[in-house]
Amino acid sequence: MTPANPYVFDAGLAGFEQDVLLKSRETPVLVDFWATWCGPCKTLGPVLEKLAAEFNGGFLLAKVDVDKEQQLAGYFQIKSVPTVMLVKDGQIVDGFPGALPEGQLRQFLAHHGITAKEAEAPAEPEAAPPADPHAEVVRLRAAVQAEPDKDELKLDLALALLRTGAAAEAEALLDALPANLAQDDRALRGRARLAFLALLRDAPPAEALQRALEADPADLRARHLLGAHDIVAGRWQEGLEQFLEMLRRDRGFEDGLPRRALIDAFRVVEDEDLVGAYRRKMASLLF
């Protein structure tokens, strides 16, 4: 089969059983007996190839050059070219001599129930598995050691350390960044994540906070800490929802803490669509 038209191929005696008879058990095969010196073949051949491409695998087109494959042509008792035969389920079921116009070719195919296949949607590329944060720290430590003057690598290392919970080392790296990188969006994201980690340093575990909220949904301190747990753990929507609920219940709590918590969370959350949705929700409550 040629790359330009994967449904058209040259057939010969050696592979005829495999390439035509066996394949016809799954897909109908038109066998086009032709010759280079044949004028009508030059008219029919391109139309058959065009239909094979258009039908997208609804049938296969096997091309047999009778001058090169005289034994095969003799086996099928080909007396003139072009001659076309239709093979289905390993058997010749129909055929015709001469060059039919395109309209009659379409009728011939339709008569035998041969229809075009729908084009397959391109496969979605598989998402790369998330990097192991500890392995990423090891890789970035080596990179920083190899290029100690490259501050961008130190920022990458700080962010990777934050994902492993190594807040103190990450903070030291962020503090040492030059001014231009200190205001980078990723550095600000790291600072916001640090703030959530610091908030949780002496906080109760998430399970205890969840029980406290079940007992008293108006406990905004517990809700704030539970939201921080969610953000740090990557449960971004759950965390944003906790902070939004704080805003619904009391926007002025602790001098505007619900709004500040949402803004800090927006810096940490890497899903832009999710951030956009919750920015709109926050705005609808504030204005």
38 is catalytic: yes
Catalytic residue among 29, 38, 197, 246: 38
Catalytic residue among 29, 41, 137, 159: 41
CA distance 123 to 68: 40
- 218 burial type by CB count under 10 A (0-12 exposed, 13-18 middle, 19+ buried): exposed
213 is catalytic: no
CA distance 228 to 182: 23
CA distance 30 to 20: 9
Chain centroid offset of residue 47 CA: 36
How does 44-82 read in b/e, with b if 16+ C-beta sit within 10 Å? bbeebbebbeebeebbbbbbbbbeebeebbeebebeebb
Total Cβ atoms within 10 A of residue 127: 6
Active site (catalytic) residues: 38, 41
